[in-house]
A = this chain, B = another copy of it.
Amino acid sequence: MAEEVKLLGVWGSPYSRRVETALKLKNVEYEFVEEDLQSKSALLLKSNPVHQKIPVLLHNGKPLAESQVILEYIDETWKEGFPILPKDPYERAQARFWARFIDEKCLPATYKVLWGCEELEKAVEEACELLKILENELKDKKFFAGETVGLVDIVANFIGYWLRAIQEVVGVELLTKEKLPKLYNWSDEFCSVFQESLPPKDKLVAYIRDRLQSTNTTTTSS
């Protein structure tokens, strides 16, 4: 049976890029459908009625939501391709633990710094502490998964690519060579491996500038 794989996403979203990265690693052909988050498509609303968010993966018409759930699905469905999770149950659990840590701790703290908050200095310190924990987990490995990438690297894509671009525009320092040398080196490795599945830097920076400007001209923050 011919596979029909369709991804509803947004070009600049690290969450839909996670799914694209996994599909590319598995050599799965897919159709990318760009969503307009200001005017979500009927297909998105029908496919993810609970959260109404991207990414949504449609596999032979069956919808899947939540990027980490989708990554595990891709790994279990296209088993023969590149392994996203390790085989050993304990190592799998470790990968899931760190992937959750990134989504539940690192990203909210990082977003708080980047998208504006009242006590910036304190927020920077908190985010750096969390990123330091992640850095320690890298140890002397090239990637979180070892010599090749895996679940944690894919989930950490915002830290690997977006963060350095955004902190430059915003004018804060989170991920620097001085503060977090291992994580910084990892982000270089990450970008060189995933270059093809990352959004163009110029376009991303322009988008962030626009977003910052519109945030600064409204009273509500996102």
Contacts and interface: CB of A to CB of B under 8 A. Distances in A.
Contacts of A30: none
Nearest to A75: B89
B100 A66 contact: yes
A203 interface: no
B90 A72 contact: no
Interface string A94-131: 00110011000000000000000000000000000000
A62 interface: yes
A100 B59 CA distance: 21
A220 interface: no
Contacts of A101: 50
A76 interface: yes
A42 interface: no
Contacts of A68: 96, 100
Interface in A73-98: 73, 76-77, 89-90, 92-93, 96-97
A77 B91 CA distance: 11
Contacts of A100: 66, 68-69
